[in-house]
Structure 1
């Protein structure tokens, strides 16, 4: 019994640790290892520590016999809604749900990672990585104008990624891995708000685990030039969970929740979700003894997410939709450029800039739970080597997000229209420690 409990509790604890607010477009997290100071430019080519297992496993052949790397990143997004004529849903009698703009829907999130690389011989390496490649968190102050659409939305993932790499010759290395990935999603919204401000909240929870894979190749064209190509597969989830209704503690709120539950408002639910695949092309170029340039172009297949149909699988309403999230995502590109300046043998300064395209097509498909937009990264960092076998890297990033318009019309579903714009930005602080032994 104790072993069964521990096997259930451990993934849950890890998911809490690997929850995070999306820093990249959509709900993607790039904080999988070193490179924040370079805006993650050159990620599939630089192979400077064991976190290459995530970006391009072929890079392990450039490491020492045994290396370990671990890091922690703090992400602080800000999403402040400004109303421009929203209308509340039919379940919000008296306009109680339209009392405010929701405050700042962003908050601090912390994303860890860890990696181990081991050489079996001079050409064959194995490794394992632990990261959280997707995540998102938005939480509005209740009650706000969009409470019928979303009060809180939280996605957590954990990815365990065993990998292998083989040096074909001095010019070419190959790598591959497979991933076990678990996802959990929590979604809260108001389904009834009375004139007396008594509320009924819907809490939807979904989870699943699934398998994916990744491959990579690293070309060492010269001692100063490396080119990396990597691909990480899409992962298909078949999530299941529950939707529950709860009153706000008042007699009216609790009575309304019980009536809605008896009418089939609470049930088991399921939904299919395919998180996207990613392709990366990276270049690392040593310009001189002191300067290094890094470049990155990546493509993410966000069109795998269109409508997310959350269907009831129990109760009197079994077979009907509990919620349909109409995301209608498009595929995206990200371009990054970085530079490193070697100040001394022990200290390196890092710089980066990147443009990250949003998968959201327009204001009419932008969700209150994910008010995403294009973002431009401005990053700096430093790398310190206290000893030949040790590296400490710290970085900071500011993500500029332009004025983000939303016109999410869910009137037909009784959830009103959220019309306005968001003032958004993201700050990121991160540290990565790597050691050879």
Structure 2
């Protein structure tokens, strides 16, 4: 029964690792770039040099571009569509396939709100600009059908981060500014998956072939249970930036957002534990925790105005996903119970966009972007069926008055079909394989309002 008894600790490990593998449609990994609908409409090109209150959290130095008190709110709906084709087998035996369907569409439409405000100082504080922002830089949710073929790897995944950013910018001279901000981040996670107790019992009996013996009383996929893990934490990070605008045509911006380390603490609740294992303390509900690191992000933006009405913009972004190499799981007592590797790599994002003012009241914009995935073909899981992405965007602004601007944007994301090829790993609680491919895309719709006074 040794392999069966390791399931309690490894299940917690996999569940907390799942906080990192949450399918998210807007950017690689579980990153979100929906702080600004204007940026959405141009695939984030020029995001660090915008005349947009969202720069509070993106590049504080660019807050000097706003010469009035400005309040902005942005709402973006992310609709991920994905379909799994494939299957699996018990202990890798082709003659013992997993039952279940394709899981349905795991990506329900999700609303991502963001809000920001900027306040230029006057008098003796001329040249100083203050701002605050509340937004969601990471996370989304996926939810598979409870009887799908990959239920032993993932069911529900719901991870959210909410940031409060307080920033300041200082204009050093005409065209030169610097800025910095403090980020207070709240991270929460709720995840679940099924457990094949039948296979766990027969595989841990000392003879794994019992799983394929019709006379053995405990059979695969006949004693399904499950668990739900919940965790949360608050942590602090920072963002710094600068902007160079030597003339009215050219602007260059740079921003760096730090890693934020979270020590998640939470609970693990088991369901459907068979009577044979019900008295075992390793299958009792309890507390646990793990370290979660949201990655560093470095971005360079360029804007160039060919005419007074036409501007070309570009972005290059480097996201430090390599900080997520493994997760060490601890009990509430501090005892280490396991470590799970996933080997993500750093990613590059590039975009090119343009804006055209058709009149003082209306601006049209568009853009295209390329986004690399941090995942790989060896460790990719159904919690993040991610791969390289291409972004196509259009948007528009309406200056209703000197005080009010309304924006709308649409983005289509195509995703290179990712593959899943997960082997049996008894020590980690995985008693079956899962092999297949995903096909999917995402649509993003955004609206925003900016009020100046």
What TM bracket, shorter-length normalisation? 0.7 to 0.9
Structure 1 runs (4+) greater than 6 angstroms displaced: none
Match of residue 10 from structure 2 = none
Q: Distance in 1 between matches of 2:23 and 2:102?
A: 23
Counterpart residue number, 2:16: none
Residue 87 of structure 1 and its aligned partner are, at CA, apart by 1.9
Aligned positions, number: 403
Distance 2:102 2:349 in 1: 31
Measure, in 1, the Cα distance between the counterparts of 2:82 and 2:333: 36
For 2:284 and 2:312, locate their aligned partners in 1 and report how far apart those are by CA, in whole Å. Answer: 56
> 1:135 maps to what in 2?
139
Out of 396, 419, 436, the position equivalent to 2:435 is 419
Asked if residue 267 in structure 1 is aligned to residue 272 in structure 2, the reply is no
Say yes or no: does 1:435 pair with 2:445: no
Q: Distance in 2 between matches of 1:340 and 1:310?
A: 48
Q: 3-state DSSP class of the match of 2:44?
A: coil
Aligned to 1:6: none
Is it true that 1:224 corresponds to 2:255 in the alignment? no
Return 5+ residue gaps in structure 1 as ranges.
Answer: 1-18, 248-253
Deviations 1:70-108 (Å, cap 9, x if unpaired)?
01000011221110x522469xxx86x522121111111
User: Cα 1:168–1:261, aligned 2, differ >3 Å: closer, same or farther?
Assistant: farther
Cα shift at 1:367 = 1.5
Worse-matched range after superposition: 137-146 or 189-198: 189-198
- Counterparts of 1:387 and 1:193, CA distance in 2: 64
1:57 aligns with 2:73: no
Q: Deviations over 1:181-226 (max 9, x none)?
A: 0101111011136568553111111111100001010101211110
Q: Displacement, 1:414?
A: 4.0
Query: Is the CA contact 1:21–1:108 (under 8 Å) kept in the aligned structure 2?
Result: no
Mapping for residues 365-376 of structure 1, pairs under 5 Å = 365-376=379-390
CA distance in 2, matches of 1:404, 1:425: 12
Aligned residues of 1:267 and 1:314 also touching (Cα < 8 A):
no
Local SS of the residue matching 2:308: coil
Whether 1:175 and 2:179 are equivalent positions in the alignment is: yes
* TM norm structure 1: 0.87
User: Are positions 1:68 and 2:71 aligned together?
Assistant: yes
Q: Give ranges in structure 2 of 5+ residues lacking alignment.
A: 1-21, 199-218
Q: 1:67–1:118: 8 Å Cα contact kept in structure 2?
A: yes
Aligned-pair CA distance for 1:146 = 1.5
Residue 366 (structure 2) pairs with residue 320 (structure 1):
no
**Cα distance between partner residues in 2 of 1:197 and 1:80:** 26
Within a 5 Å distance, the mapping from 1:178-193 to structure 2 comes to 178-192=182-196
The answer to whether structure 1 residue 343 and structure 2 residue 358 are counterparts is yes
Higher mean alpha-carbon deviation, 23-32 vs 286-295, is at 286-295
Equivalent residue number for residue 298 of structure 2: 279
Determine if the alignment matches structure 1 residue 212 to structure 2 residue 237: yes
> What SS does the aligned partner of 2:278 have?
helix
Q: How does 1:99-110 map to 2 (within 5 A)?
A: 99-110=100-111
Whole-Å Cα distance in 1 between the matches of residues 384 and 91 of structure 2?
19
Contact 1:22 1:137 in 2 (8 A): no
Listed as ranges, the matches of 1:357-396 within 5 Å are: 357-360=372-375, 362-396=376-410
The match for 1:86 is 88
| Equivalent in the alignment of 2:268 | 243
Provide the secondary structure at the position in 2 that maps to 1:364. coil
Distance 1:106 1:243 in 2: 24
Q: Structure 1 residues 260, 54: CA separation in 2 closer, same or farther (over 3 Å shift)? A: farther
Whole-Å separation in 2 of the counterparts to 1:221 and 1:409: 56
Q: Decide whether the 8 Å contact of 1:392 with 1:431 is kept in 2.
A: yes
Tell me the equivalent position of 1:355: 370
How far apart are 1:307 and its partner, in Å? 1.5
The range that moved more, 110-119 or 20-29, is: 20-29
